[in-house]
Amino acid sequence: MFNFEITALGNMFFGLTVLVFVSLFFVPNKHRSVTLYSLLFASLACIFYASDLITLFIGWEIMGWSSYFLIAKTADKQTLQKYIVFNIGGAFTLLGAIILIYGACGSFVYSELDFSAVPSGQVTAITILLLLTLFVKSGIMPFHYWVVDSYSQSNDLFSAVLSAIISKTGVFAFILIFFQIITVQYLQTPILEVVAWLGVLTSIIATFKAINEDEAKRLLAYSSIAQVGYIVTILSIMGSLSLEAALYHTVIHTFVKLLLFINVAAIIYVSKQHRFSTLGGLLYKYPLNFILLVVGIISLAGMPPLGGFSSKFLIYTALLEEHKGLLLAAVLFSSASAFLYCYKLVYGIYLGQPTNPKTEAYPRIPLRFYVPQILGAVILITLGTIPGVIVPMFNGILGSVGFEPVLYRGVFVLGSDFASFNGGVVIGAFGLIFVLILLFFVRLKNRSVKPKDRLDISYCGEVPRADVNLHYGYGMGRELSRIGLIKMILSRSSHALWQRVSTLFGDLSGITQKLYTLSAQNMGLVIFAFFTILLYMGVK
C-alpha cells in the first residue's frame, strides 16, 4: 500500500513545504483548522516521497479534499463546484492514467515501470491523461477556471499555501513522471511542443488578466498561473539545463508567492480592503511591508539583482540553447508585460493619495505577519547574490532522474557554457546605484511639501469632492483593452460556458429524476415492456 522512498527531488519539494508551513504557522488566522492542515501536510509528504503511483495518488486525493474543506468555509457555491469538478476530475484522470500504466506495465512501483514494450498509442494516451491532471493542479489553460476564484476566496493564509505549494505539486509530478518514469525517448515530440505553447499562452493571457484586475488576491492568483506557465514551458523542453531552470524557478516562485500573499494578507488584515481602488497611500504607514513587497515584486518580475533574475536568466538561456526563438520571444513578451501588474501592487497599495479616509486609523500590522515575509525576502536576496549556491542540489536531482549535471562554477556564478552571470557583481553594481539614488532622494525629501490631508491638492488648482478617487493609478491599465488581441483575451470569461454546462446537467438530472417517480402501475408496464422487447430480440 504505502511505499516511500527518499529522493533528491522529493527532498527539495518537501523542504519547500516545510519552510512554507512552518513560517505560515506564525501568521494569525481566523479559520485555523489543525486537523486539516496536518492532513494537507501529510498528504504533501506522501506525494513527494511516494515510491509507487498508488501512494502518489492517495496523497494527491487527500491533498484535494483537505484543501476543499479549507476553502469551503469562505468560498461561494460556484467556486466550490468548480474546484470539485476540476480537482476531482483531475485526480480521476490521474487514476485513469495510473490504471492505464498498470495495464501496460503490470506494476505501480516507479522502478518497475518499463515502457519499452508499450505501444506508442498507449503511451500517448497515458501522457495526455497525466498532462490533464498536472494542468488542472497547476492551472494551465484551458484548465485554469477554478484557480483564480479558489485562490482569491479562500482565507488569506491558505491562498499562500495554494499558490506556493499546491500549484507546485503539478510541477513535481511533471518532473517525476516525464523525466523519471516515462522518460523522454517514449514521449511524442508534438505533444511536448503543444505543452510548451500552452504554457506560454497561459502565461500571456494570465498576465493580461492580472494587469486588468482590481482585486489584490486575484491579481496574485493570475500571476501565479502565469509563473507556473513558464515552468511548464521550460519543462517541456526536456533538457538538463531546462530542468535546472524549472527547479530554480519553482524555488523562487514558492518564496515570491509566500511573501506576496502574506504581504497582501497583512494589508487586508489591517484595512479590511481587498481592492486596489479602495487602497493606496500606505507607504509611510507600513514602510517595512513596502520594502518586503518591493523585494517580492522585483523577484516576481525577474529583474536583476534578486533571485527572480537568476531563474529567468536560466529560462532564457535554456530556450536559447535549444534554439526555441519563438518561444523565447513569447516568454519575453509575457515577462515584460508582467512589470505592469507588478507595479500595480506597488502603486495600488502604497503610493498615491489614499482613497480611504480612514487610512489613519488602521492598526499596526502584527509582527507575526513578517515571519514568512522575511524568510522569503532573505532567500530571494541570497539567491540573487550567490545564485550558484543551490546548483549542487539541483545537480543531485538531475543525477537522480538520469540527466547530466549542469556546470557549477562556484556560488557566485550561474549559467552554462552558453551564458553566465556573476550574482555578486550584479548585486554590487545595483546596490551602488541604489544607494546613490537613495541619497539623492533623501536630500530632496526635505524640500518637498507635505499635504495636510488626502484632499489637500489645492496646489493643483482643483478642489475635489470627498468621493473622488484621487489615486493616480486609478483606472490604469484600462486603455490596454483598446489593443485588439488583449481586448479579446480580457473579454473572454469562462463564466457563461460554466453556466451552460451546469444547466445542461441540471436539466438532464431533472428528466431522469422524473423517471423515478413512476406510479406502480406504470412501473409494471415498463417491466412488461422491457421483458417483451428483450424476448422479441431473443426470439428473432
Partner 1 sequence: MSLVYFIAIPILASFLTPFYKNYLRFVSVLVNILLAGFAAFFYSRLPLNEFISLDSPLSIIFILDYVSFFFVSLFIGVMLFFSLYSIKEKNNTAVFVVTNIFTSGALGLILSADIFNIYIFFEIASISAYILTGLNRDKVAYSGAIKYMIVGAVASIFLLLGIMLMYLNLGYLTLSSIGAGFHTMDKGIQYLVLLSLFIGFGIKTEILPLNFWVADIYQATPTKIAALFSAVLSKAYLFVFFHILYTLKVDAPALLFLTAIGLLSFAVAELSALRSKDVKRIFAYSTLGQLGVLFLALSSANVVVVSGALFLILVHSISKLMLFFSLDLVEKKMHSTRVEAFAGFRSAFLFTIFAIGFLSLLGIPPFAGFIAKLTILKGFASMGAYGIVGAILAISLVEATYFFRLLSANQRSKKTAEIKVPLLQKIMLSLLALAILYLGLFPQGLLDFCTDAAQTLIQGVIHV
Partner 2 sequence: MSLKKTVGLKTILTALLISFMSMLLLGVIMNAAYTHTSLGYDLLKINTISTQSANAVTSVVTYFRGLDTLGEVTILFLSIFGIGIGIERSDRMKTILGYDSTLLKIGTKVLFPLIVLFGLYIIAHGHLSPGGGFQGGVIIASGFLLMFLAYGDSYDLDHKVLSLFEALSGAGFILVGILAALAGGAFLGNMLPLGVLGKLFSSGILPIIYIFVGLKVAAEITVLVEYFIRTQDARDA
- Residues that bind partner 1 in the complex, under the rule CB under 8 A: 1-2, 54, 57-58, 61-62, 64-65, 68-69, 72-73, 77, 80-81, 84-85, 88-89, 91-93, 95-96, 99-100, 102-103, 505-506, 508-510, 512-513, 515-521, 523-524, 526-528, 530-531, 534-535, 538-539
Q: Minimal distance in Å, beta carbon 527 to partner 2?
A: 11
Q: How many helices (H) and strands (E) does the chain have?
A: 20, 2
> Residue 275 carries which DSSP code?
B
What is the SS3 assignment for 9? helix
Residue closer to partner 2, measured from CB, 441 or 530: 530
State the DSSP H helix or E strand holding residue 414, giving kind and residue range, or none if neither. strand 413-415
- Residue 10, C-alpha cell as written in the block: 522529493
525 binds, among partner 2, partner 1, none (CB under 5 to 8 A by kind): partner 2
DSSP letters along 441-506, please? HHHHHTTSPPPSSTT--GGGT----TTS---TTTTTTGGGGGSHHHHHHHH--SHHHHHHHHHHHH
Q: Minimal distance in Å, beta carbon 540 to partner 2?
A: 10
532 binds, among partner 1, partner 2, none (CB under 5 to 8 A by kind): partner 2
Select from 37-45, 245-253, 473-481, 528-536 the region that touches partner 2 (CB under 8 A): 528-536
Interaction between residue 535 and partner 2 (CB under 8 A): yes
Residue closer to partner 2, measured from CB, 18 or 525: 525
Q: Minimal distance in Å, beta carbon 258 to partner 1?
A: 27
Q: CA-CA distance, 441 to 437, in Å (whole number)?
A: 6
What is the SS3 assignment for 117? coil
Query: Contacts from 444-452 at CB under 8 Å and sequence distance 24+?
Result: none
381 binds, among partner 1, partner 2, none (CB under 5 to 8 A by kind): none
Residue closer to partner 1, measured from CB, 8 or 58: 58
Q: Minimal distance in Å, beta carbon 506 to partner 1?
A: 5
Select from 276-284, 416-424, 500-508, 532-540 the region that touches partner 2 (CB under 8 A): 532-540
515 binds, among partner 1, partner 2, none (CB under 5 to 8 A by kind): partner 1
Tracing cell 500549484 back to the chain, one arrives at: 167
84 binds, among partner 1, partner 2, none (CB under 5 to 8 A by kind): partner 1
Select from 356-364, 414-422, 491-499, 524-532 the region that touches partner 2 (CB under 8 A): 524-532
498 binds, among partner 1, partner 2, none (CB under 5 to 8 A by kind): none
Q: Minimal distance in Å, beta carbon 514 to partner 1?
A: 9
Q: CA-CA distance, 72 to 79, in Å (whole number)?
A: 9
What is the SS3 assignment for 4? strand
Select from 89-97, 118-126, 164-172, 526-534 the region that touches partner 2 (CB under 8 A): 526-534
- Residue 278, C-alpha cell as written in the block: 479602495
- Residue 280, C-alpha cell as written in the block: 493606496
3-state DSSP helix/strand/coil percent for the chain, to nearest 5? Answer: 75, 0, 25
Residues pairing with 414 in the sheet: 421
Alpha helix (H) ranges present in 106-239? 120-138, 145-153, 156-161, 167-174, 189-211, 216-235
Q: Minimal distance in Å, beta carbon 78 to partner 2?
A: 43
> Which string of x and - marks every residue 478-517 that binds partner 2 (by CB under 8 A)?
----------------------------------------
Return the exposure string of 465-480: e unless at least 16 CB atoms fall within 10 Å of the residue's CB, then b: eeeeebbebbebbeeb
Q: Minimal distance in Å, beta carbon 529 to partner 2?
A: 6
Q: Minimal distance in Å, beta carbon 153 to partner 2?
A: 52
95 binds, among partner 2, partner 1, none (CB under 5 to 8 A by kind): partner 1
Q: CA-CA distance, 162 to 424, in Å (whole number)?
A: 33
Select from 18-26, 127-135, 467-475, 531-539 the region that touches partner 2 (CB under 8 A): 531-539
- Residue 192, C-alpha cell as written in the block: 511536448
Q: CA-CA distance, 393 to 244, in Å (whole number)?
A: 10
45 binds, among partner 1, partner 2, none (CB under 5 to 8 A by kind): none
> Residue 118 carries which DSSP code?
S
Residue closer to partner 2, measured from CB, 120 or 522: 522
Residue closer to partner 1, measured from CB, 61 or 244: 61
Which of 52, 147, 43, 49 lies closest to 90 in space, CA to CA? 147
Q: Minimal distance in Å, beta carbon 513 to partner 2?
A: 22
Interaction between residue 532 and partner 2 (CB under 8 A): yes
What is the SS3 assignment for 421? strand
Can you say whether residue 153 is alpha, beta or left, with left for phi > 0 and alpha for psi between -120 and 50 degrees? Answer: alpha
Select from 145-153, 384-392, 505-513, 530-538 the region that touches partner 2 (CB under 8 A): 530-538
Contacts of 113 (CB under 8 A, 6+ apart): 101, 105, 107, 181, 182
Residue closer to partner 1, measured from CB, 105 or 365: 105
One residue of 326, 437, 518, 525 binding partner 2 per CB under 8 A: 525
480 binds, among partner 1, partner 2, none (CB under 5 to 8 A by kind): none
Residues pairing with 50 in the sheet: 4
Q: How many residues does the chain have?
A: 540
Q: Minimal distance in Å, beta carbon 515 to partner 2?
A: 17
Strands 420-422 and 413-415 come out as antiparallel
Select from 219-227, 242-250, 406-414, 523-531 the region that touches partner 2 (CB under 8 A): 523-531
Contact positions vs partner 2 (CB under 8 A): 525, 528-529, 531-532, 535-536, 539
